[in-house]
Structure 1
């Protein structure tokens, strides 16, 4: 069956069977080296888990420290075994069954030698080593097949197809695939630096880096000719890399304080500007970044096809050495004619990048009527639509750490950090109310009139994190570091170790 499976970029006629086998063997060997990237520390860490799990066959009803180690291992891998209490109950069995299914094993819920071996491989892929291995993924090369890739990843073709939302076995060079065993519940934060002495984001990251997986340095913007302006934040890069975490360079089309449609159009449609932009973005990797987050906004919907092709070309340009992630606007349904979101083909973008951040915020904004930045029912709908187009193992739910205040009499509002809104209410002795999604809001009287304020805090953000846990998404991505309330990090801690939503 595998002999006649469609390869990336070519077919496999019978008279090239042995050459095809050699290519698959080479691809598999390289994939093992690339995906795992295992250091001695990594092997020791996974061996420690296995030593604690031991050799006893574990099944529903088992008790002991070996069951506790199993539950901790499953939780680390993004499965939900229930409380880590050493009791192999129904939730632990369900987590084992799901792990076995995604590993291509017989899913009987019993932990024996084969399941233990699969656990070892999965743990090695997410602990220690190169931080990029924590997003277990592979960039397809010419001659690859799903069969060769799945075997090297320790999973089945079916599980690999399901994890990546593939409808057929046809794959293409440059396409990016994630492993079904990619760890979930990652925390990403965007860290802008708007002025030379702005250390707000840096200090937040420094304080909470223990609970952060990926930091996005918001320091680069494209020009109309495809060159890039900005120097990034070297102090942030040094801090994050020093702690063995991932750092990405944010690339936008901002001009001043807004996203410039003409810049996006020039880069997407101009041959010279497009070529220069691809080279400029790749050049950022020389500054120590692990990859990029492309955040082009206010893109002309007429350039929907050009945007998709740009992502494809960027994937090939960056190659496997760099992560390619994309931020996209929130949608409740596909609307190619929308002036704000029409240019974004979720399905195509998801196929050609490693992760997609759905910016599930600004439901209400400065020039809209007052309301939540991200109401819970709206975020639920946004997530539901995104999952119909983007693999959950690639999807990050964007969450806001800010708010808006609007004049009650009408008129344009203004944004403010969530911690400032919270402090303002406390200083004025104002009782904060919450909507049905736990979003806090209040009204206050100023010298120039009354204002209504909506913002996000730890409780309202936890309700959104529960969606990410329930849907087993790759994680959440917070815009932005330094604006959040202190209790936001209590919710982040919960998210990193969450067993079940609402507990």
Structure 2
């Protein structure tokens, strides 16, 4: 497969004719309900033969196919840079599939929909982390109508994890986490309640997603995880922990997370490598490639690569311009972002520095917007980082956000482990 960037004047018919592929195949691979393409749109073309286009080079084709120029030339020895002509057919070389652990977050909806979507996602993930259980200041847990989802996951050989979070009605609460971590009785109650819920509901383990941990609670949080691990491990239960992305130890609002301590206490550490820009920030790329790379490099100084799961966002944000500090902009699924660009016929630009797409448009009320999101190009670059650093796995927030190109990219680079 390769990624084709739509050019001015292109149509699905023209692209299909140029590459020798049926229009319906392009629509299916890219989840297209409409056909009004926009310049800059990234289309995944599910072919293993590439038809040379005017202006192509080995470098440009290799970048589109996520392979090296050298491997592309080795696979097509009869073609040289000097004799390459439009219309020539090039074989896209396969790459060895790296085995990985996949962890997908899934927000439960209703039993019927949950069964359907879990069946769809099962081939592409090792664990499913069901969102979400809440805890109170005394360490008690909320309940969740999850038995149908848990049973479906096990039937599809995808061990389910319960996700426990400090999310409240007003957002993630560092004060709630502080209360529980600083009260031994509440802390022990929470550990016992997690263990009891795993046992009663039939989970394979737990995913801990405590966000905005205070610096003063850094050691208490790591200690809580060690005690939780000691409670779970004899029964064979898995402990995974979600952490924000850190590029160094000097970021004030992230000092509550001791990568080394968390990594040693957990079976897997899921790095939420996104939200460098978010709904409450100024506009910008959600997961810029340099910051993702620096986060991986820093994590590897603290945690064995066999424990690191790199998280990808299946979303972006839609900011109203001019940006007003204090406003909160809505999130938008990657596929919805593409459809929004198509609706407004807004050309999609791609920032190669950040390896991130974005576009601007004017809405029906005359307000200007800018949308930064992720597409097949940007996600593919992050998957290449996973291979480069030989990380144990990857995961997404979250699976109910549509991204039709995802399975194609995943199966190009990786083979998902089954437990």
**CA positional deviation for 1:235:** 2.6
1:468 correspondence with 2:386: yes
Matches of 1:479 and 1:202, distance apart in 2: 19
Residue matched to 1:300:
214
Matched, 1:318 2:205: no
Q: Which of the pair is proportionally richer in helix? A: 1
Deviations 1:458-482 (A, max 9, x none): 2211110111111111111100012
Does the CA contact (< 8 Å) of 1:405 and 1:454 recur in 2?
Answer: yes
SS of the residue 1:228 aligns to:
coil
Instruction: Summarize the Cα distance change of 1:315–1:243 in structure 2 as closer, same or farther, 3 Å threshold.
Output: same
Residues 26-83 of structure 1 show CA distances to partners (whole Å, capped at 9, x for unaligned) of xxxxxxxxxxxxxxxxxxxxxxxxxxxxxxxxxxxxxxxxxxxxxxxxxxxxxxxxx9
The answer to which of 231-240 and 434-443 deviates more is 231-240
Question: Alignment partner of 2:252: what SS?
Answer: coil
Q: Does the CA-based 8 Å contact 1:405-1:415 persist in structure 2? A: yes
Task: Answer 1 or 2: higher relative contact order, Cα 8 Å, separation at least 6.
Answer: 2
In structure 2, distance between residues paired with 1:202 and 1:476 = 23
248, 251, 260: which one aligns with 2:164: 251
Query: Residue 219 of structure 1: which of 127, 132, 151 is its match?
Result: 132
Relative to structure 1, the CA distance from residue 215 to residue 265 in structure 2 (aligned partners, 3 Å threshold; closer, same or farther) is: same
Aligned to 1:370: 283
Structure with the largest fraction of strand: 2
Which SS does the other structure have where 1:430 is aligned?
A: coil
Matches within 5 A, 1:449-464: 449-464=367-382
Q: Unaligned stretches of 5+ in structure 2?
A: 1-70, 72-97
Give the match for residue 444 of structure 1.
361
Question: How do 1:150-189 and structure 2 match up within 5 A?
Answer: 184-189=99-104
Distance 2:218 2:242 in 1: 15
1:235-284 Cα deviation digits (max 9, x unpaired): 32122100111211111011125111221011101021011011011112
Return the TM-score normalized by structure 1.
0.60
2:330 counterpart (388, 395, 414): 414
**After the TM superposition, which residues 259-298 of structure 1 pair with which residues of structure 2 at under 5 Å, given as runs?**
259-286=172-199, 287-298=201-212
Contact 1:184 1:472 in 2 (8 A): no
Asked if 1 retains the 8 angstrom alpha-carbon contact of 2:166 and 2:172, the reply is yes
Provide the C-alpha distance between the structure 1 equivalents of 2:280 and 2:252, rounded to a whole number of angstroms: 18
Match of 2:297 in 1: 384
Q: Taking structure 2 as the reference length, what is the TM-score of the superposition?
A: 0.71
Alignment-derived partner of residue 496 in structure 1: 414
Residues 96-124 of structure 1 deviation map (CA, whole Å, 9 limit, x = unaligned): xxxxxxxxxxxxxxxxxxxxxxxxxxxxx
Corresponding pairs, count: 314
Distance 1:492 1:205, change over 3 A: farther
Secondary structure (helix, strand or coil) at the match of 2:261 reads helix
Q: Contact 2:260/2:303 (CA < 8 Å) preserved in 1?
A: yes
- CA contact 2:283–2:323 (8 Å) conserved in 1: no
Paired residue for 1:355?
Answer: 268
Unaligned runs of 5+ in 1: 1-82, 84-182, 499-503
